Amino acid sequence: MTVASSTDGGARRTELALAGLRVLLGLMFLTVWTSNLDKGLYGASQYAALIDFYAAEGSAPGFWKEIMRGVADASWLFSKLQLAGELVLGVLLVAGLLTRIAALGAWAFLTSLWISELGVPNEWTWSLVFPAAIAFVVAWSPAARAYSLDDWLGERVPLPRWAIG
């Protein structure tokens, strides 16, 4: 196996790979959003039941279970925040708009879900670790904004680097 001799070619492959991961992460959010919507999981009572189940059956740390119970108690609010949040993160990541902020939000959200699902029956511990890791890489790599609205707008409108990557 040979290593590419062109730095530009290697940089272009890195941009393609990270932009692809950004788009796939966004599509994951959009498909989960659609699935949860179809299942009725954004309804307050269904949302509360799911969170209460995770708190009762899982092995998340005690302080985290208390946070989860508080979220379940305010399911009328948090179910709608999750509905909007998953949709917005998916759209922003696919479009590549405010890439760094969206990817950091995705990382925080996926990490919190991972903690919530620890030890829950029929949930695989590693299922959210990999998407969270991808979100972290997308947030911190400027190459992830290739082929994005951030990239296109950045040529026309000065956008803050902290927001776009």
Cα(54)–Cα(94) distance, rounded to whole angstroms? 30
Residue 6 included in any domain: no
Residue 105 included in any domain: yes
Percent of the chain with pLDDT over 70: 95
Cα(134)–Cα(31) distance, rounded to whole angstroms? 17
- Domain range spanning residue 151? 13-164
Residue 8 included in any domain: no
User: How confident is the model over 126-155, as pLDDT tens digits?
Assistant: 999 999 999 999 999 999 999 999 988 877
Please tell me the pTM assigned to this model: 0.89
Cα(23)–Cα(157) distance, rounded to whole angstroms? 23
Count of domains for the chain: 1
Residue 7 included in any domain: no
Residue 21 included in any domain: yes
Residue 1 included in any domain: no
